[in-house]
Amino acid sequence: MPTGEIHSASQPPSATDSSAYEDDAWIWAQIKAEARRDAESEPALASYLYSTILAHPSLERSLSFHLGNKLCSSTLLSTLLYDLFINAFASDPSLRAAAVADLRAARERDPACASYSHCLLNYKGYLAVQAQRVSNRLWQQSRRPLALALQSRIADVFAVEIHPAAKIGKGILLDHATGVVVGETAVIGNNVSILHQVTLGGTGKVSGDRHPKIGDGVLIGAGATILGNVKIGEGAKIGAGSVVLIDVPPWTTAVGNPARLVGGKEKPKKHE
């Protein structure tokens, strides 16, 4: 099935809370080691790696600094955004856990992902998702104008538009990411892989709950368009360029325009 450059999530992480915390610490230590190694081998990047990674005591700080710099504008200052991200991460530990799970997802499923720091610094899909989770928090706190301003900056800077109200799980890989659009009432499960130019949109016929619900472990190929309040079951795969207007059962593949179901099995070890 055509999907773009994604390997399936072979082993969903199932760590306990304390080992998860150790895992987070281990990944941050890895990122710093990678940055130190790269700064040494490439002096032209030393100052960049220092300011984005090595100067920070934690992944959350590094991410907040990097997002603040990427998303700021002449009227939305980087310091304001930096504070906003710092505070969100400090108040809601699930944001850090999700950020770590997404790093692992990129490393495991994208053969072009060279290192954790590569993803943290360079993957605009990764950065867009982290920023969206913060905008979702603002939305739930009824700070909607700020959530929408953040959505707009993400759309301008990364060409990725995810409504702040959309619910996104952990272990998400948004690969390449350009042109991804996710509507207000969409829900994305855990360990989902989404390629570039994927739309989770409405049909234009209804208001209210009008966007797709994507199950755990789903893989959506490049340029696929899924419209309406349809349900894409756990482990399903959506072919590149498909236009999907129907429910897709778990562990089933849909392809074509309009999409038809072409396969499915009880519980394949790997998407193929």
CB of residue 258 to a second copy, shortest distance in Å: 8
CB of residue 12 to a second copy, shortest distance in Å: 17
Q: Could you give the residue ranges of the DSSP H alpha helices within the chain?
A: 17-41, 46-49, 59-71, 78-91, 93-109, 116-122, 124-140, 144-158
Q: Which is nearer to a second copy, 164 or 189 (CB)?
A: 164
What tokens does 171 get?
């272990």
258 DSSP 8-state letter: T
Question: Contact 106/173 with Cβ under 8 angstroms?
Answer: yes
CB atoms within 10 A of CB 19: 12
CB atoms within 10 A of CB 83: 13
Q: Which is nearer to a second copy, 5 or 247 (CB)?
A: 5
Q: Give the residue among 97, 100, 67 at the shortest CA–CA distance from 82.
A: 67
Q: Which is nearer to a second copy, 24 or 225 (CB)?
A: 225
Query: Using N-to-C axis directions, what is the helix angle for 59-71 and 78-91, rounded to 10°?
Result: 150
The residue written with tokens 């099935």 in the block is 1
Q: Which is nearer to a second copy, 93 or 256 (CB)?
A: 256
CB of residue 72 to a second copy, shortest distance in Å: 8
Question: Contact 261/243 with Cβ under 8 angstroms?
Answer: no
Q: Which is nearer to a second copy, 107 or 144 (CB)?
A: 144
CB of residue 22 to a second copy, shortest distance in Å: 27
168 DSSP 8-state letter: E
CB of residue 135 to a second copy, shortest distance in Å: 12
Q: Residue 194 pairs with which residues in a beta bridge?
A: 174, 220
Q: Which is nearer to a second copy, 104 or 271 (CB)?
A: 271
Which helix (H) or strand (E) covers residue 252, if one does?
strand 252-255
Q: Which is nearer to a second copy, 24 or 68 (CB)?
A: 68
Alpha carbon distance, N-terminus to C-terminus of the chain: 7
Phi, psi (degrees; rounded to nearest 5) at 76: -115, 100
CB of residue 18 to a second copy, shortest distance in Å: 33
CB of residue 170 to a second copy, shortest distance in Å: 21
CB of residue 249 to a second copy, shortest distance in Å: 20
Q: Which is nearer to a second copy, 15 or 80 (CB)?
A: 80
